[in-house]
Amino acid sequence: MPRSKAADKRQAKDTTDVSGPAAKRPATRATKAKVNSKTKRAKNSKHTDSKTEAEPVDMSEELFAQYQDFERTDGKNMIGPEGFERLSTDLGYDMSRIEPLVLMWKLGCTEMGTVPYENWTQSLSSMGASNLDQLKKAVDSAVSKLESDQKVYKQFYRQMFDYLKTGKQKVISVDYAKDILPVIKGAKDTLFDRFVAFLDANSEKIKTINRDQWQSLLELSRSMDDSLSGYSKEDAWPAMFDDFAEWVQNQK
């Protein structure tokens, strides 16, 4: 996964706990005791009805506080790139694979590795997740669904463009595109590898990719094989793909 522009190098300094989603000060021992108390009560919970299982304790706010860092997010009530990377690692995800990107998408990140508190609470609620185990199950399920549901994959793929662009820019860097395409490609998207090779071969000429080109690449990969034998300039693809098709055919 391309590293966030805000966190090219992970800082050695640990993120401090906070006492709640709206707090702007380090957590006290009382806060930690509260979290430990909740966990202990959940483990020792007893019910008079033997058929009723103990409901899992909602730890969503405590989790948010655990990965939040006011200092690195200018006091904003959000999880920043450093906290997001720690969350991904705690879930057992490799930052070079697709899972952190799906996690980002499912948490409603507003930009690469940034999760506002409101998006966090709404997303966990919609996933039915209140702890790390449940969150991991929801994300793993979403990863599996990308392969089986083209509509869902299309939504995910299109969102990646917004994560890769900077601010209000309407294009993304070719370097970011080359980094992410091999990570998010599905089994049917063999054309992605050839497109990355094409970008490498034309690095002096092609510096950016716009939204139309990004979205058209997926449509092209799902409608033709990687030889582009059925490609026609009359089909109104973005002009870049005329050059791409010619390049592919010259590689035979």
Q: Mean pLDDT lowest for which of 41-50, 161-170, 172-181?
A: 41-50
Cα 92 to the center of its chain, rounded Å: 14
Mean pLDDT of 174-197: 93
State the pLDDT at residue 74. 66
Query: What's the pLDDT score for residue 73?
Result: 61
What mean pLDDT comes out for the span 217-237? 91
The partner residues of 65 in beta bridges, in order of sequence, read: none
Element housing 143 (H / E): helix 132-148
Q: What is the reported pLDDT for 4?
A: 52
- Band of residue 168 on the pLDDT scale cut at 50, 70, 90: confident
**Which residues touch 164 (CB under 8 Å, ≥6 apart)?**
2, 112, 172, 173, 176, 177, 180
pLDDT higher than 90, residue 161 = yes
Q: Does residue 238 surpass a pLDDT of 80?
A: yes
Average of pLDDT values for 127-133?
94
Region 212-233 average pLDDT: 93
Let me know: does 187 contact 163? Beta carbons within 8 Å: no
| 183 has pLDDT over 70 | yes
Supply the pLDDT for residue 71: 66
Q: Indicate if the pLDDT at residue 124 is higher than 80.
A: yes
- The three-point CA angle 73-4-165 to 5° equals 105
Tell me the average pLDDT across 70-89. 84
Instruction: Find out whether 154 and 221 touch, Cβ atoms under 8 Å.
Output: no
Rg (CA), the chain: 22
Gap between the Cα atoms of 214 and 194, Å rounded: 14
**Mean pLDDT throughout 216-232?**
92
151 has pLDDT over 60? yes
pLDDT digits (tens, 9 = 90+) for 14-48: 443 433 433 333 343 343 444 444 444 444 444 43
pLDDT at 12 over 80: no
**pLDDT at residue 205, as a whole number:** 95
Query: When comparing pLDDT for 25 and 129, which is higher?
Result: 129
Average pLDDT over residues 150-172: 94
Q: Is the model's pLDDT at 171 over the cut of 90?
A: yes
